């Protein structure tokens, strides 16, 4: 099996190559580079995305999965 890349979703803010480990500012978690270590370890391209944004894109691309619950709209 051949992989083209790795996608990482996280519950914090995601930027180009950098992902904040936390959502809540009061935790004062440091900004952590998640992209570089994964790229170096695997040799694959890595993309980071906020988990909520990734869920919305999944719905748009693949539609709602039956039995997955109801939406508020």
Per-residue pLDDT at 26: 61
Strands, E, within the chain: which ranges? 5-10, 19-20, 31-32, 45-50
pLDDT, averaged across the chain: 76
What is the mean predicted confidence (pLDDT) over 23-37? 71
Query: Are the beta carbons of 12 and 21 closer than 8 angstroms?
Result: yes
What is the mean predicted confidence (pLDDT) over 53-68? 78
Residue 5 binned pLDDT confidence (cut-offs 50, 70, 90): very high
Give the span between the Cα atoms of 11 and 50, in whole angstroms. Answer: 6
- pTM to 2 decimals? 0.65
Residue 61 DSSP label: H
The residues with which 45 forms a beta bridge, in sequence order, are 5
What is the mean predicted confidence (pLDDT) over 15-23? 56
């Amino acid at each position: 099996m051949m992989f083209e890349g790795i996608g990482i979703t996280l519950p914090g803010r995601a930027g180009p190559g950098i992902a904040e480990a936390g959502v809540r500012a009061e935790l004062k978690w440091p900004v952590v580079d998640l992209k570089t270590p994964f790229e170096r370890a695997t040799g694959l391209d890595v993309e980071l995305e906020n988990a909520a944004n990734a869920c919305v894109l999944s719905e748009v691309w693949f539609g709602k999965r039956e039995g997955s619950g109801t939406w508020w709209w």
